[in-house]
Copies of this chain bind each other. A is one copy, B any other.
């Protein structure tokens, strides 16, 4: 089968054997999405080699649980060892020996077929199109903030960064009831959130000194975004770190201590509430789709995904 792989020599479309571990489900990929993490891996920052991709919707071809066969599914990307204390407590997401689809020791979704444990799969309701279902994983990650930080209608939130992740975070927190301001650089991108009722502001028009937020979400993926977040948050407020900068980043420890800030790292989220949000059409994800490519043109698709101004790029096997 075809797969978009990152190996020592770089990114390429390879012909590889279909995965056939009968203890797991085999899923035929319908549509997959390119995430910034994929771009980081392709730059060699993450130490992963293999088939990329962790955002997908597909159809189960075979599975130990036969009731799943022919069902349309999405899948949680962390597969725990099943034996450690964290797995026993139901937290495979942090199992130290976990594999992660297209990220850690497990081939990913930019292929005709992928494999995952049956317990990772969730059936997609018919109301949700493939184009929307493929956003389940990133939307779960955005909605996951509400698991880590409670928000109410009184909570003022700034989201820093108007990329894919920032747009999902801003809409999610707005839907959760908070008073959200999305801070970005791109008028068209900010417009997507505005159409859903989110207040937006251009970063260079921001009156830093006059704003003071209960919660600031750093979703820009840049160290400068984190520095801005520390400026925007009120004393005793919370900064949510969504994006994994690569390498070490400067940070102002004194500001965190003196202002008694809380920095909350947030990575994955649960899929079930994300599917619910997609079913309700609570979040605009279609507007985030910039381009769709055939898997065979995956290398070009990755280049486009890294280009300025481009939001979500999809791959169709």
A interface residues with partner B (beta carbon < 8 Å): 86, 91, 94, 148, 223, 226, 235-236, 241-267
Contact = CB atoms under 8 A, between A and B. Distances in A.
Given A250-B250, A253-B241, A148 B260 contact: yes
Given A94-B236, A236-B94, A260 B265 contact: yes
B256 A260 contact: no
A241 B256 contact: yes
A40 to B, nearest CB: 9
Contact of A252 (B148, B248, B257, B266): B248
A254 B260 contact: no
A249 B253 CA distance: 7
A257 B94 CA distance: 11
A86 B248 contact: no
A252 B263 CA distance: 13
A170 B242 CA distance: 31
Contact of A266 (B248, B260, B266): B260
A260 B253 contact: no
